Structure 1
Amino acid sequence: MAETTAVRRPTLLLAVLGLLTAVAPLAIDMYVPGFPDLGRELAAGEPAVQLSMSAFLIGLVAGQLVIGPLSDGLGRRRLLLPGTAAFALLSAGCALMTTAPLLVAGRFLQGCAAAAGLVLARAVLTDSFPRARLPVYFSVLAMILGVAPVLGPLLGGVIVAASGWRAVFWVLSALGLAMLAATWLGVPESLPPARRSPGGLRPAFGSMAVLLAHRAFTGYTLSLGLAAGAMFVYIGASSYVFQDGYGLSSVQYGLVFAVNAGAMLVASASFGLAARRIALPALLTGYLAIAALGALALTVQAVLAPTLAGTWLCLAVTLFGVGGVFPAATTITQSIGHARAGAASALSGAAAYLFGALAAPLSGTTVGAMAWVMLASMMLAVLALMLARPWRPVAERSFA
Structure 2
Amino acid sequence: MGETTTLRHPAPLLGVLGLLTAAAPLAIDMYVPGFPELGRELAAGEPAVQLSMSAFLVGLVAGQLVIGPLSDRLGRRRLLLPGTAAFALLSAFCALMPTAPLLVAGRFLQGCAGAAGLVLARAVLTDRLAGPRLPLYFSVLAMILGVAPVVGPLLGSVIVTVFDWRAVFWVLSGIGLVMLAATWLAVPESLAPERRSPGGPRQAFGSMAELLRQRAFTGYTLALGLAAGAMFVYIGASSYIFQDGFGLSAVQYGLVFAVNAAAMLVAGASFGLASKRVAVPALLSGYLAVGALGALGLAVQALLAPTLAGTWACLAVMLFGIGGVFPAVTTVTQIIGRARAGAASALSGSAAYLFGALAAPLSGTTVGAMAVVVLAAMALAVLALLVARPWRPVTERSFA
TM-score relative to the length of structure 1: 0.97
Indicate the residue corresponding to 2:48 in structure 1. Answer: 48
Whole-Å separation in 1 of the counterparts to 2:259 and 2:228: 18
Distance 1:274 1:396 in 2: 20
Give secondary structure in 1 for the equivalent of 2:390: coil
Deviation at 1:38, TM superposition (A): 1.0
Which residue number in structure 2 is paired with residue 25 of structure 1?
A: 25
TM-superposed deviation, 1:306: 1.2
> Secondary structure of the equivalent of 1:188?
coil
What displacement does 1:156 show? 1.6
1:174 alignment partner in structure 2: 174
Aligned-residue sequence identity (percent) comes to 82
Q: Indicate yes or no: 2:237 matched with 1:211.
A: no
Q: 2:397: which partner in 1?
A: 398
Query: AA paired with 2:140?
Result: V
Is the aligned partner of 1:195 residue 2:199? no
User: Following the alignment from structure 2 to structure 1, what is the Cα–Cα distance between the partners of residues 181 and 280?
Assistant: 35
CA distance in 2, matches of 1:329, 1:74: 26
Distance 2:131 2:370 in 1: 37
Paired with 1:391 and 1:253, the residues of 2 have a C-alpha distance of: 40
Aligned to 2:80: 80
- Once the two structures are TM-superposed, the CA of residue 8 in structure 1 deviates from its matched residue by 5.3
Give the equivalent residue in structure 2 for 1:289: 289
Q: Which residue of 1 aligns with 2:248?
A: 248
Task: Give the equivalent residue in structure 1 for 2:120.
Answer: 120
Query: What residue number does 1:227 align with?
Result: 227
CA distance in 2, matches of 1:348, 1:131: 21
- Note the alpha carbon deviations across 1:110-136, whole angstroms, 9 max, x for none: 000000000000000111111321110
Deviation readout 1:82-121 (Å, 9 max, x if unpaired) = 0000001111111111111110000000000000000000
Structure 2 CA distance for aligned equivalents of residues 330 and 214 of structure 1: 16
Conservation of the 8 A alpha-carbon contact between 1:5 and 1:190:
no
CA distance in 2, matches of 1:175, 1:50: 23
- Alignment of structure 1 residues 54-203 onto 2, 5 Å: 54-203=54-203
Q: What TM-score do you get using the length of structure 2 for normalisation?
A: 0.97
Kept after mapping to 1: 8 A contact 2:219/2:385 = yes
Q: What secondary structure does 1:167 align onto?
A: helix
1:358 aligns with 2:363: no
- 1:316-353 CA distance string (max 9 Å, x none): 11111000000001100000001010000000000000
Output one character per residue of 1:157-190: Cα deviation in whole Å (capped at 9) or x when no partner: 2222222111111111111011000000010111
- Matched residue of 2:133: which SS? helix
Question: For residues 199 and 185 of structure 1, do their structure 2 counterparts lie closer, same or farther at Cα, with a shift above 3 Å needed?
Answer: farther
In the alignment, which residue of structure 2 is the partner of 1:276? 276
Structure 1 match to 2:37: 37
8 A contact 2:73–2:201 mirrored in 1: no
1:310 aligns with 2:281: no
Q: Structure 1 regions of 5+ residues with no counterpart?
A: none
Q: CA deviation at 1:199?
A: 4.7
1:277 positional shift: 1.0
Deviation at 1:202, TM superposition (A): 0.6
Q: How far apart, CA to CA, are the structure 1 residues paired with 2:302 and 2:138?
A: 34
Aligned positions, number:
399
Counterpart-to-counterpart distance in 1, 2:296 and 2:277: 29
160-169 vs 241-250, greater mean Cα deviation: 160-169
Amino acid at match of 2:398: F
Distance 2:54 2:131 in 1: 35
Alignment partners' CA distance in 1, 2:120 and 2:146: 18
The letter of the residue matching 1:380 is: L
Shift in Å at residue 31 of structure 1?
1.1
**Structure 2: gaps of 5 or more residues:** none
In 2: Cα distance, 1:38 partner to 1:30 partner: 13
In the TM superposition, residue 26 of structure 1 has moved relative to its aligned partner by 1.0
Q: In 2, Cα distance between the equivalents of 1:185 and 1:317?
A: 40
> CA offsets, 1:359-397, max 9 Å, x none?
00001000000001000000100110111011122x344
Shift of 1:5: 3.0
Q: Which stretch has the larger CA shift, 7-16 or 379-388? A: 7-16
Q: Distance in 2 between matches of 1:364 and 1:73?
A: 43
2:380 maps to what in 1? 380
- Which one-letter code corresponds to 1:10 in the other structure? P
Letter in 2 for 1:399: S
User: Could you tell me whether the CA contact under 8 Å between 1:22 and 1:144 is conserved in 2?
Assistant: yes
Query: Counterparts of 2:389 and 2:227 in 1: how far apart (Å)?
Result: 17
Q: Which amino acid aligns with 1:34?
A: G
Kindly state the Cα deviation for residue 29 of structure 1 after the two structures are TM-superposed.
1.2
- 1:398 deviates by 3.4
**SS of equivalent to 2:343:** helix
Deviation of 1:267 (Å): 0.6
